[in-house]
Amino acid sequence: MPELPEVETTRKGITPHICGQKLTQVNIRQPNLRWPVSENLAYRLQGQTLLNIERRAKYLLFQFPCGYLLIHLGMSGSLRIVPYNSVIAKHDHIDICFESQQILRYTDPRRFGAVLWLGTAPLQHKLLRNLGPEPLSEDFNAQHLYQYSRNKKQAIKQFLMDQKIVTGVGNIYANEALYSSGINPKTQAGRIAQQRYQKLVAVVKQVLQQAIAEGGTTLRDFVGGDGKPGYFKQQLHVYGRGGEPCHGCQETLVEIRLSGRSSVYCRHCQR
């Protein structure tokens, strides 16, 4: 489900409700996520104060005095703040309860997400060690993309979605960024000039920032920590619009598959 803007929206939504609060209990109703959820979480975290919630790529890192808890939302995961007496629905797999009578509730129908204890050196963990730069940082720039793309035959769309190259960009925003920068998603990454990467970098940053400002993209059921949907869907130019007219030239948008992911683009505007 969530790409960087949705994860960031979630982080912003839940932070004011639970940061600084003492954790009282962890209830694991369904431990079978992407990897089994440790049964010891409650024992480890009971009485610990949640110090901060950070984001790296699409991962959320919950900082406690004794270490970090990692949460990834996979394709269909979400985190919400609910009151103690809240009814438990199907797929509400984990509750993290706080002294303030509030619960951080992890819901995930497809169970592709992850809840993992990382200890005190989170960035050394296998999942975080080899990630590329944050897209909204200065380390993500045209030179970086140009340099890493040389001799790559991979399509630019897959290159852009490779978290080792740059983090946070998933299928929606890759489609959108390539449209707005006028690049055909099938173009080999290694054949794109530095100047075009300049444009692509600027557009990626802009699209992600706008999406964050709108609270992310809600396609079916994404909600931020406060339960509200994201409104960026109204600004999508190509994602989910195969067969419909291009917003720029009115030509029919084409839908193809690249590495199993649906890719929509305009033959006229993207070359």
Contact residues toward DNA (CB under 7 A) are 1-3, 6, 32, 34, 57-58, 72, 74-76, 90-91, 109-112, 127, 152-155, 158, 161, 163, 170-172, 216-222, 230, 259-262
Question: Which amino acid is located at 70 in the chain?
Answer: L
Q: Is 3 known to be catalytic?
A: yes
Nearer CB in complex with DNA: 23/73: 73
Q: Which two tokens stand for residue 239?
A: 């994602």
- CB 122, min distance to DNA, A: 14
- Region of residue 182 (left: phi > 0; alpha: psi -120 to 50; beta: else): left
* Catalytic choice (3, 6, 8, 176): 3
Distance CA 134, CA 131 (A): 9
Q: CB nearer to DNA: give 242 or 248.
A: 242
Q: Which is nearer to DNA, 138 or 153 (CB)?
A: 153
Annotated catalytic residue 191 = no
Out of 5, 11, 58, 135, the active site residue is: 58
For every residue of 118-130, DSSP letters joined together read: EET-GGGSHHHHT
Interatomic CA distance for residues 158 and 148, integer angstroms: 13
Residue 32 Cα to chain centre, angstroms: 21
Please say if 261 is a catalytic residue: yes
Choice between 57 and 183, CB closer to DNA? 57
How far apart (Å, rounded) are the C-alpha atoms in residues 239 and 175?
6
Give min distance, CB of 55 to DNA, in A: 11
Mind telling me the catalytic residues?
2-3, 58, 261
